[in-house]
Amino acid sequence: MSYIIAVAGKGGTGKTTLCGLMIRYLLAKGKSPVLAVDADANANLHEVLGLEIAESVGALREKAMAEVKDLPLGVTKEQYIEQRIHEILVESSGVDLMTMGRPEGPGCYCYANHLIRKYSERIGQSYKYVIMDNEAGLEHLSRRTTQGVDALVISTDETLRGLRTVQRILDIIVELQLDIKKTYLVVNRSLNGLTDAFHEAITGMRVQFLGAIPSDKRLIQFDLEGKPLIQLPDNSLAVQKVSDMMLELVEKNVENK
């Protein structure tokens, strides 16, 4: 059974970077295979992983609506969708990538959406770990796309405004009764350490605080040069901190799952 980690939060808080460093940790520890799911319409997880995407699930949805009308005899719509989802997976050593993308045309795609979600979940069962990079904001929660996960990691910055978004996410989880086993909070790109006011603000929140990832010059340089962050060296401050977090997030929880 897969252990599923989803990352959420407001825009600009480094969700994709965090996903990439989590995947880096899993691969370094031999915890593969890993399925990376880029559920952000502004997809860029592939760049963090150093992979190339040919087609997204969003594009597949458009094609499926047209192609299922002329399937060969004996091939069902369900079989066709499952086969096509397998075909758009980007495969690499230890980690495969599924990019959700965005729809390219108008109209209702409820049936195609249902099939794609169903078979995406089925494919995910073939992996030890699934890391999902969600779009910014709260819509994916209200649509219940972040559902049935073992750990939801909420990424924020050091601002109290960011914490208000965190609280809204926590409120929606309760309101919609989402199936999320544990919820965690991570502060990303911390500059000078967290203030007393920040620590006071998170006191009483229904979330476990994992810690703060420091601003990392190596990470910034890799970003500027377009290098995959998954190739960051072991002495990177961000790599080291995420590794510490994964001991709590993965090592303790998977043993008890």
Mind listing the pLDDT tens digit for each residue in 172-186?
Answer: 888 888 888 999 999
CATH architecture of the domain 3-255 equals 3-Layer(aba) Sandwich (3.40)
Residue percentage of the chain with pLDDT more than 70: 86
Number of H helices, E strands in the chain: 11, 8
The residue type at 75: V
**What band does 7 get if pLDDT is binned at 50, 70 and 90?**
very high
- Lowest-confidence segment of 55-64, 176-185, 192-201, 235-244 by average pLDDT: 55-64
Separation between Cα atoms, residue 156 and residue 164, nearest integer Å: 10
- CB-neighbour burial class of residue 255 (10 A; exposed 0-12, middle 13-18, buried 19+): exposed
Average pLDDT, the chain: 84
Domain definitions of the chain by residue range: 3-255
Q: What spatial distance separates the first Cα and last Cα of the chain, rounded to whole Å?
A: 9
Smallest CA-to-CA distance from 114 within 86, 157, 82, 154 is with 82
pLDDT at 40 over 60: yes
Q: How many CB atoms lie within 10 A of CB 5?
A: 25
**pLDDT tens-digit profile of 239-253?**
999 999 999 898 777
What pLDDT is attached to residue 23? 97
Q: How confident is the model at residue 111 (pLDDT cuts 50, 70, 90)?
A: low
> What is d(CA 232, CA 25) in angstroms, rounded to the nearest whole number?
11
Q: Is 4:124 a contact under the CB 8 Å cutoff?
A: yes
Lowest mean pLDDT among 50-54, 77-81, 232-236, 246-250: 77-81
- pLDDT of the residue at 237: 94
Integer angstrom CA distances of residue 18 from 9, 28, 46, 114? 11, 15, 13, 29
Q: What percent of the chain has pLDDT over 90?
A: 41
Q: Residue 196's pLDDT band (boundaries 50, 70, 90)?
A: confident
CA–CA separation, 115 and 234 (whole Å): 40
Contact in structure between 80 and 71 (CB atoms under 8 Å) = yes
Does the pLDDT of residue 138 top 80, yes or no? no
Is pTM, for the whole model, over 0.85? Answer: yes
Q: Is the pLDDT of residue 61 over 80?
A: no
